[in-house]
Amino acid sequence: MAPNCISLLVFFITIFAFSTIVESSSRARMYLESECRLAMYPDLCVRTLLPYVDKSGILSPQRLAQLTLASCLSKARVTKTYVDTLAHKLNDTGNFGEYQALVTCMHQIDNGVNQIMQSLKELQHMGSDGDENFVWHESNVQSWVSAALTDITTCIDGISGDGIGRREKAMMEARFFNVKQLASNSLMMFSRFTTKFRASRGIKNP
């Protein structure tokens, strides 16, 4: 009887733990769906942030903005590495026209990566060095992320020849589009943070 009782107890404990995890995940998703509802790509916004909310609970608007921007930076870096690899391949095979087009694209996405990285550093300081500097930080982040979005958008436009295979070009376009989506969502989450911060501190719009 004792082994059966122990097995039954373990079974109920397992069911309870599983139910708790499911309930916690459901609450986290509902919370993020509310936070991401104004994003241009709300489903992507929720998927991006859900792993962090599950671990840390409800996050501040600033932290949510940081996480979306950090995810954008990570994807931009991966995309840059892919473009670099493809450019070297084209150079080695003698497709110099397409190689030059990719070199231009590489410069643009490199600028975009740097701008996103600067924005993330700027965002980390916002609110910690006085309200008088908040507007200045805000302007910097908005300008840099917007510029990065422009660079990422125009990068793919110069790749139109036949030197790049259909598969490679399709993969490039998918990667660039994903970075654009994340950058767009980052701007929205950043706007939510700045709006709430201004309201809490009584900071006027510039």
118: domain CATH number is 1.20.140.40
> pLDDT for 77-130, tens place per residue?
999 999 888 888 878 777 777 777 788 888 888 999 999 999 999 998 888 877
Q: What is the pLDDT of residue 73?
A: 95
Which candidate, 205, 81, 79, places its Cα nearest to that of 135? 205
CA dihedral 27, 185, 182, 190 (to 10 degrees): -100
Using the CB atoms, write b or e for 102-134: b if 16+ within 10 Å.
bbebbebbbbbbbbbbbbbebbeebbeeeeeeb
Q: 32 and 42 in contact (C-beta within 8 Å)?
A: no
- Domain presence at residue 135: yes
Report the length, in residues, of the chain: 206
- Domain presence at residue 64: yes
Q: Which residues of the chain have pLDDT under 70?
A: 1-25, 54-56, 158-163, 205-206
- Domain presence at residue 29: yes
- Domain presence at residue 206: no
From residue 63, alpha-carbon distances to 37, 66, 123, 124, 141 in Å are 17, 5, 9, 9, 15
Backbone angles phi, psi at 61, to 5 degrees: -55, -35
- Domain presence at residue 119: yes
Q: How far apart are CA 91 and CA 100, in angstroms?
A: 9
Q: What is the pLDDT of residue 55?
A: 65
**How many separate domains does the chain show?**
1
Q: What is the pLDDT of residue 29?
A: 82
Domain containing residue 31: 2-201
Q: How far apart are CA 37 and CA 54, in angstroms?
A: 19
